[in-house]
């Protein structure tokens, strides 16, 4: 290939990437719009709403779709008060839409099965619409109520080689707090009081602390600077930090008084425990220096001291298998957060939540302390996790 041909090809790459992005965006928008039409067809058209109620319902449906799309764009471009209002509306609709769509799809499946054995009354459309709303409304109200009320989840984990003096060592894990437009300063204060009230020896923050830039959220996250533990507060980045400036959030974490573990470790508890932390697996997309490196993390660590690794995503266990980790703490999955999305988590992660041995690494995956997007938790509760380490016999 000549130099001129190679240079021309390289110049075409940004254009091709842009064109592919436009195509993918168009497909995604078409899919979302089509699903909205399907929902409207079942809950508005098939319910035979009289005019002008049917027209109002359709206009409202498309308006909510516009708010959903606008929430993603407006969150970055609009002043904070306007962005917050638009994101609240868009995210509430996102969760409501997901549940309504699931219930309608399940009812269609049930009707298809029933039609093989009996004649389905055409008037069923109105009854179906009422039943779907009656099921969805209380479920959403409960999901909204619990979404910002994380529970304490207590778990005891055996650690081979743990010194008897550290038997009962208490780690409080916070993960996926997602301080942003819908979870603000008040939630940060609540989480801080909750964590401190558990009298931890160490606090581990396993990523996705925020959804926004430090410039926008500095006042909102400020209460987290009051987190207190006997052996310190340790923080690693998640994928959402990188969407808003991973290096900037590491700097903000240090300003808040956290020990930021950027592919590094600390020896704590009078030499009885090694706490290491890696950057998120998506960090490399934003900067080569932010690629996770477990070997660098534990370089020069004392070889016979139990190692606790903070890694945002549980799938990192496959890379940590050779690092002799006694316990890995992760998050990212939210436990699925809202029915039925927990069934899709396993497409990307080896576990939905809880304790499991992954690639030989004992791993605890938090359901998350806050939530992302829709202010709902339907199924898995948010958690502030209290992990008590026990010397293995």
Tens of pLDDT, residues 208-260: 999 989 998 999 999 999 999 999 999 999 999 999 999 999 999 999 999 99
Q: Is the pLDDT of residue 179 over 80?
A: yes
Per-residue model confidence (pLDDT) at position 379: 87
63-to-90, 95, 232 alpha-carbon distances in Å: 10, 15, 48
Each residue's pLDDT tens digit, 330-374: 999 999 999 888 888 988 999 999 999 999 999 999 999 999 989
Q: How many CB atoms lie within 10 A of CB 158?
A: 13
Q: Is the pLDDT of residue 67 over 50?
A: yes
283-309 in b/e form (b: 16+ CB < 10 A) is beebeeebbbbbeebbeebeeebbbbb
- Strand ranges for 175-256 from DSSP E: 202-206, 233-236
Average pLDDT over residues 197-207: 97
Dihedral, CA atoms, 362, 364, 365, 366, nearest 10 degrees? -170
Per-residue model confidence (pLDDT) at position 2: 55
Q: Is the pLDDT of residue 309 over 90?
A: yes
Per-residue model confidence (pLDDT) at position 111: 81
Per-residue model confidence (pLDDT) at position 122: 67
Retrieve residue 152's tokens: 């304490």
pLDDT category of residue 14 using cuts at 50, 70 and 90: low
Q: Among 24-33, 107-116, 141-150, 338-347, which stretch is predicted with the lowest mean pLDDT?
A: 107-116
Q: Is the pLDDT of residue 10 over 50?
A: no
Per-residue model confidence (pLDDT) at position 343: 86
Highest mean pLDDT among 2-11, 186-195, 343-352: 186-195
Domain with CATH 3.60.21.10 in the chain: 150-391
Residues whose CB falls within 8 Å of the CB of residue 167, separated by 6 or more in sequence, listed in order: 389, 390, 391
70-to-59, 74, 258, 295 alpha-carbon distances in Å: 16, 6, 34, 43
Q: Is the pLDDT of residue 181 over 50?
A: yes
Write down the residue that tokens 């779709």 correspond to: 65
Per-residue model confidence (pLDDT) at position 17: 54
Average pLDDT over residues 280-297: 93
Nearest to 333 by CA among 351, 317, 321: 351
DSSP per-residue letters across 363-387: EEE---SS-SSSS--BSSPPEEEEE
Which is more confident, 3 or 185?
Answer: 185
Average pLDDT over residues 152-172: 95
- Looking at the domain 150-391, which fold is it? Purple Acid Phosphatase; chain A, domain 2 (3.60.21)
Write down the residue that tokens 């030499």 correspond to: 271
Average pLDDT over residues 38-49: 90
Retrieve residue 174's tokens: 């916070």
CA distance 263 to 383: 26
Per-residue model confidence (pLDDT) at position 354: 95
Per-residue model confidence (pLDDT) at position 128: 86
- With beta carbons less than 8 A apart as the criterion, state whether 232 and 263 touch: no
Q: Is the pLDDT of residue 86 over 70?
A: yes
């Amino acid at each position: 290939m000549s130099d001129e041909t190679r240079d021309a090809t390289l110049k075409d790459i940004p254009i091709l990437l842009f064109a592919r992005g436009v195509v993918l965006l168009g497909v995604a928008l078409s899919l979302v719009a089509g699903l909205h039409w399907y929902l409207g067809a079942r809950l508005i058209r098939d319910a035979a709403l009289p005019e002008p109620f049917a027209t109002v319902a359709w206009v409202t449906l498309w308006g909510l779709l516009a708010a959903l799309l606008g929430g993603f764009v407006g969150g970055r471009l609009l002043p904070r008060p306007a962005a917050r209002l638009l994101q609240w509306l868009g995210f509430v609709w996102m969760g409501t839409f997901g549940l309504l769509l699931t219930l309608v799809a399940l009812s269609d499946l049930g009707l298809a099965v029933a039609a093989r054995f009996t004649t389905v009354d055409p008037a069923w459309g109105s009854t179906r619409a009422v039943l779907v709303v009656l099921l969805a409304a209380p479920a959403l109200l409960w999901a909204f109520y619990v979404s910002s009320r994380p529970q304490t989840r207590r778990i005891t984990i055996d650690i081979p080689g743990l010194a008897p003096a550290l038997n009962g060592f208490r780690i409080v894990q916070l993960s996926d707090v997602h301080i942003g437009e819908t979870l603000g300063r008040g939630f940060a204060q609540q989480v801080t009081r909750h964590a401190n009230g558990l009298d931890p020896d160490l606090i581990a923050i396993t990523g996705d602390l925020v959804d926004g830039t430090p410039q926008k959220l500095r006042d909102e996250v400020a209460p987290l600077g009051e987190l207190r533990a006997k052996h310190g507060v340790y923080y690693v980045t998640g994928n959402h930090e990188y969407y808003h400036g991973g290096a900037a959030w590491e700097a903000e974490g240090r300003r808040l008084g956290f020990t930021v573990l950027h592919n590094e470790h600390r020896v704590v508890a009078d030499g009885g425990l090694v706490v290491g932390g890696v950057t998120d697996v998506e960090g490399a997309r934003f900067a080569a220096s932010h690629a996770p490196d477990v070997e660098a993390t534990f370089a020069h660590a004392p070889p016979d001291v139990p190692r606790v690794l903070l890694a945002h995503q549980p799938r990192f266990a496959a890379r940590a298998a050779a690092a002799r980790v006694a316990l890995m703490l992760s998050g990212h999955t939210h436990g699925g957060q809202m029915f039925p999305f927990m069934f899709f988590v396993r497409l990307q992660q080896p576990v939905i939540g809880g304790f499991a041995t992954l690639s030989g690494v004992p791993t605890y995956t938090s359901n998350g302390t806050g939530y992302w997007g829709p202010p709902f938790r339907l199924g898995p509760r948010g958690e502030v996790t209290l992990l008590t380490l026990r010397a293995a016999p």
